[in-house]
Amino acid sequence: MALKQVYAPPEALFKVRSHYCPGCGHGVAHTLVAEAIDHFGLRGRAVGVAPAGCSVLLYKYFDTDTIESAHGRALAVATGLKRANPDLFVYSYQGDGDLASIGLCETMHACNRGERVTAVFINNAVYGMTGGQMAPTTLLGQRTTTSPAGRRREHEGPPLKMAEILATLDGVDYCERVALFDAKHVARARKAIFRAFESQIEGRGVGFVEVLSACVTNLKMKPVDAQRWVKDEMCSAFPLGVFKDARASKEGGSDAV
């Protein structure tokens, strides 16, 4: 019986060993972004903007042009790239400390301007690369190396809900929160990232996808337990779903009323 190929690694990823920890979500998220680059035929005009954090090493994996950015400034760098050359396809890839803490100002304003860029946001509720400190998205009660007694609402405030916040901005065309804890949700995440790519391809504005992902090492959990934690704990603090789809609401006839 002849073998039929049903899957191949995306062309936009180098065939290299990963430096990410076993169980980390970056590998899956990288693959989904690379599949979108392949699907839309963008490898030849794509530029990836890497953050400070574990995925600063984006260039080791993505076979597209890639550029580093200062901590939090990815969407400002992305703005510069896209404004200078609108023919480029510009995708940014940032963690929670990068996008939601130090870079919140750049994030909000790039989204408000409706930059024609695609923003992938990996929310794993900790600072991964620096060793598990409290992030802007750390859950209430979650212990980290800088919130050893657990995050307290009255002391650090509650976690920032970026998808909800950014969905309020007119410049954002598509905004969804997804998770990677099982195959069904990975498939949903893939679809969201593809849709966020279309926001840029169609010149509609920012396509934003928040990806709930497990930082196995800093959660100090086994990979399976970490996935369960994302499903049970993170998903109740950060509800999954589409927070904005400007194209669908337009097509759905809200303007026709």
Partner 1 sequence: MTAKTQEKVLTQGNVAAAEGAIQAGLKCYFGYPITPQNQIPEYMSWRLPEVGGTFLQAESELASINMVLGAAATGVRAMTSSSGPGISLMQEGISFLAGMQLPAVIVDVMRCGPGLGGIKPTQGDYYQATRGGGHGDYRTLVLAPGNTQEMFDLTFHAFDLADKYRNPVIVFADAILGQTKEPVRLEPLHPPTQVDKPWAMTGANDRPSRNIRSMYLEGDDQEQLNYTLRDKYERATRDEQRHEVRWAEDADVVVVAFGTPARIALDAIREARAEGRRVGLFRPISLYPFPVDALGALSDRCKKMLVVEMNLGQMVDDVRAAVRHDVTVAFHGRPGGGVPTPDEILAKLKEL
Which residue among 21, 70, 165, 242 contacts partner 1 (CB under 8 A)? Answer: 70
Which residue among 39, 40, 109, 164 contacts partner 1 (CB under 8 A)? Answer: 109
Does position 66 interact with partner 1 (CB under 8 A)? The reply is: yes
Q: How many chain residues touch partner 1 (CB under 8 A)?
A: 36
* Identity of the amino acid at 192: A
Token output for 95: 């963690």
**C-alpha–C-alpha distance, residues 91 and 192, integer Å:** 14
Tell me how far apart the 2 most distant CA atoms of the chain are, in Å. 65
Which residue among 32, 33, 34, 47 contacts partner 1 (CB under 8 A)? Answer: 47
Does position 111 interact with partner 1 (CB under 8 A)? The reply is: no
Cα Rg of the chain, angstroms:
18
Does position 68 interact with partner 1 (CB under 8 A)? The reply is: yes
Number of residues in the chain:
257
Which residue among 28, 31, 39, 43 contacts partner 1 (CB under 8 A)? Answer: 43
- 207: helix, strand or coil: strand
Which residue among 28, 39, 65, 225 contacts partner 1 (CB under 8 A)? Answer: 65
Name, in order, each residue with C-beta under 8 angstroms of 106's C-beta and a sequence gap of 6 or more: 72, 73, 74, 75, 76
Binding site for partner 1 (CB under 8 A): 43-47, 49-50, 56, 59, 62-70, 73, 76-85, 87-89, 105-106, 108-109
